[in-house]
Amino acid sequence: MATSFSIQGNLVDVWKKEIYPAEIIVENGKIKSIKHIQHLESYIQHFILPGFVDSHVHVESSMLVPSEFAKLAVVHGSVGSVNDPHEIANVCGLEGVEFMIENGKKVNFKFNFGAPSCVPATIFETAGAALNSNAVKKLLEKKEIKYLSEMMNFPGVLFGDDEVMKKIKYAHELNKPVDGHAPGLRGDDAKKYIAAGISTDHECFTEAEALDKLKYGMKILIREGSAAKNFEALINLMHEHYENMMFCSDDKHPDSLAVGHINQLCARAIAKEIDVFKVLQAACVNPVLHYKLDIGLLREGDDADFIVAEDLINFNIKKTFINGELVAENEKSFIKSVPVIPINNFNCNEIKVEQMLFTLNRWGDAEKENIEQVNVIEALEGQLITNKLIYSITDFNVENENIFSNTEKDLLKMVVVNRYFNAPIAKTFIKNFGLKEGAIASSVAHDSHNIVAVGVDDISLARAINLVIQHKGGVSAVSINNEKILGLPVAGLMSADDGYKVADAYTAIDKMVKQELKSTLAAPFMTLSFMALLVIPHLKLSDMGLFDGDKFEFVK
């Protein structure tokens, strides 16, 4: 780490809402002084501004361990992140959270972890661990834990569930904020949820919903990840509500992280004619203040966490400094890979093709009423919510009382396999993946991370699932003549390999799914990973069966 240096540029003072020529003196990782200067040399026309902070992200969804996530993120001007280790906690419990904290400490990047509030997320799926209120309290007492992460059990809040309310109470007693997760919650229910002391929400997908929650005192995070994309719906609110808004990715796959991060959202906001100081307050300042983060904000005495940008339009980042150390320059990261000893929880056997059969239940009740309808999940581009569709049995291929995919109507079989122990396989059908051959499978399947797969035929489904099982986790794709697997041996969620190599491998398998299998989705694996997420309406599939997210019960 450099002990002392100076840097000149056009300083972007978010506090005073001014831009002026300045020289910054850095000493021992801190900003010793900021001095106005008369002018800059003609070749010094860059801008110095606070570093970007992702206000809500599951690092696990990048398929990278924290140290490798940091390697890619700093190139885009990110100096820190607010991290919910909910995914690995659902697989490995407290050991998983400790793994994330310790790995993150090995690199110069400011990770800020939360205590997962909902492990397991629901009782309607099989997870690898459970964290009760006592376990959550122990986590919250750690100095590394900055907040109680997203309280997705909003029915539990509304009905005053004892365990839920204890977790919220412990966070408040320790003066740590509580993150929310309440998609579609409006009116009196939203007011009651927020009144319980829940301060943020990243799940708003309409402007009206966000305004409702802002009105009751909640901070709104504009989410733009690899699957859920709410930027366009919410960005116009920043003109007026910038003091109570932030940017987040939530879930970012490695290929898109290699291309950009929060800097991309800043550029898009500027293109919408949002004032640059409002944009930077949301991207840099608000997360630090809300979560009480140890991240510098370009003031004298602060940690020297700042970035140098080519301009304030495209936000191409020339340099990133963290604690006064140059961690990235001109698209090159100086963060080095660190040794990783993987942890995991993967205990199922390979499956057989005949286990994929979806047998038609033609006899429903005691009167043996003939059943001729099939529930179908409709996946939606860029959204975590799904629609519930009803199709006639005649829309499928039926043979010997078994239902099979119909690629002409884009009705494909979807299954979820319990990865923690051998169990019956849950099956349904899904629309909008667009596959014309083969299958894809993944052990990244929010929230419990069982194996989820979609395919056009049972042989391909079994092949794709078994590839994941053989590697104790990963994303796989199989076609008639080809197969690929990106192994994820760390909890079945992450790779410890070089982040850029993982990004390249993911790009290759994603390309195969689109070109060979003909998927029509922009991010097929990311979309697939949310098809078992029961806490997002309307229809999802867990390892236990088809689930109605509106009624919060299994489909009968």
Cα separation, 193 vs 160, in Å, equals: 10
Do residues 142 and 231 both lie within one domain? yes
Do residues 243 and 375 both lie within one domain? no
Cα separation, 141 vs 163, in Å, equals: 17
Q: How far is CA 78 from CA 69, 200, 248, 317, 333, in A?
A: 11, 21, 11, 10, 12
Among the three residues 296, 321, 343, which one is the final residue of a domain in this structure? 296
Do residues 283 and 371 both lie within one domain? no
Do residues 252 and 370 both lie within one domain? no
Which of 138, 146, 148, 149 minimizes the C-alpha distance to 171?
148
Specify the pTM: 0.93
Do residues 116 and 246 both lie within one domain? yes
- Is the separation of the CB atoms in 524 and 511 below 8 Å? no
Q: Considering the domain boundaries, does residue 216 fall inside one?
A: yes
Among the three residues 296, 323, 339, which one is the final residue of a domain in this structure? 296
The DSSP result for 295-338, as a single string, is: ---SSTTSB--EEEES-SSS--EEEEEETTEEEEETTEE-PPP-
Do residues 61 and 138 both lie within one domain? yes
Q: Considering the domain boundaries, does residue 302 fall inside one?
A: no
Q: Which two tokens stand for residue 362?
A: 């033609």
Cα separation, 500 vs 258, in Å, equals: 7
Cα separation, 18 vs 285, in Å, equals: 15
What does the pLDDT profile of the chain (556 residues) look like in tens digits?
A: 457 999 999 999 999 999 999 999 999 999 999 999 988 887 788 999 999 999 999 999 999 999 999 999 999 999 999 999 999 999 999 999 999 999 999 999 999 999 999 999 889 999 999 999 999 999 999 999 999 999 998 889 999 999 999 999 999 999 999 999 998 899 999 999 999 999 999 999 899 999 999 999 999 999 998 778 899 999 999 999 999 999 999 999 999 999 999 999 999 999 999 999 999 999 999 999 999 999 999 999 999 999 999 999 999 999 999 999 999 999 999 999 999 999 999 999 999 999 999 987 644 443 334 457 899 999 998 788 899 999 999 999 999 889 999 999 999 999 999 999 999 999 999 999 999 999 999 999 999 999 999 999 999 999 999 999 999 999 999 999 999 999 999 999 999 999 999 999 999 999 999 999 999 999 899 899 999 999 888 999 999 999 998 888 999 8
Q: Which two tokens stand for residue 64?
A: 């990278």
Q: Considering the domain boundaries, does residue 211 fall inside one?
A: yes
Cβ neighbours of residue 164 under 8 Å, at least 6 residues apart? 117, 151, 153, 156, 157
Which of 54, 127, 137 minimizes the C-alpha distance to 89?
127
- Is the separation of the CB atoms in 264 and 78 below 8 Å? no
- Is the separation of the CB atoms in 250 and 58 below 8 Å? yes
Q: Considering the domain boundaries, does residue 181 fall inside one?
A: yes
Q: Is 463 exposed, middle or buried (0-12, 13-18, 19+ CB in 10 A)?
A: buried
Cα separation, 89 vs 139, in Å, equals: 12
Cα separation, 415 vs 80, in Å, equals: 37
Cα separation, 67 vs 108, in Å, equals: 9
- Please give the pLDDT value at position 365: 43
Q: Which domain does 428 fall in, by range?
A: 353-554
- Please give the pLDDT value at position 388: 96
Cα separation, 327 vs 306, in Å, equals: 11
Helix and strand totals (H; E) in the chain? 16, 30
Q: Considering the domain boundaries, does residue 389 fall inside one?
A: yes
Q: Considering the domain boundaries, does residue 514 fall inside one?
A: yes
Cα separation, 196 vs 90, in Å, equals: 25
- Please give the pLDDT value at position 441: 98
Cα separation, 302 vs 296, in Å, equals: 5
Do residues 75 and 194 both lie within one domain? yes
Do residues 274 and 415 both lie within one domain? no
Q: How far is CA 287 from CA 145, 226, 263, in A?
A: 15, 21, 15
Among the three residues 296, 318, 343, which one is the final residue of a domain in this structure? 296
State how many domains the chain has. Answer: 2
Exposure string of 245-256, with b = 16+ CB inside 10 Å and e = fewer, is bbbbbbbbbbbb
Q: Tally the C-alpha atoms within 13 A of residue 483's C-alpha that lie toward its C-beta.
A: 18
Do residues 250 and 134 both lie within one domain? yes
- Cis (ω within 30 of 0) for the bond into 504? no
Q: Considering the domain boundaries, does residue 483 fall inside one?
A: yes
Do residues 115 and 221 both lie within one domain? yes
364: amino acid identity, one letter: G
Q: How far is CA 329 from CA 1, 65, 257, in A?
A: 15, 22, 17
Do residues 212 and 288 both lie within one domain? yes
Q: Considering the domain boundaries, does residue 511 fall inside one?
A: yes
- Please give the pLDDT value at position 368: 39
Do residues 286 and 380 both lie within one domain? no
Distance of CA 281 to the CA centre of its chain: 22
- Please give the pLDDT value at position 369: 43
CATH of the domain at 166: 3.20.20.140
| DSSP label at residue 347 | -
The distance between the two most distant Cα atoms of the chain, rounded to a whole number of Å, is: 89
Q: Tally the C-alpha atoms within 13 A of residue 498's C-alpha that lie toward its C-beta.
A: 7
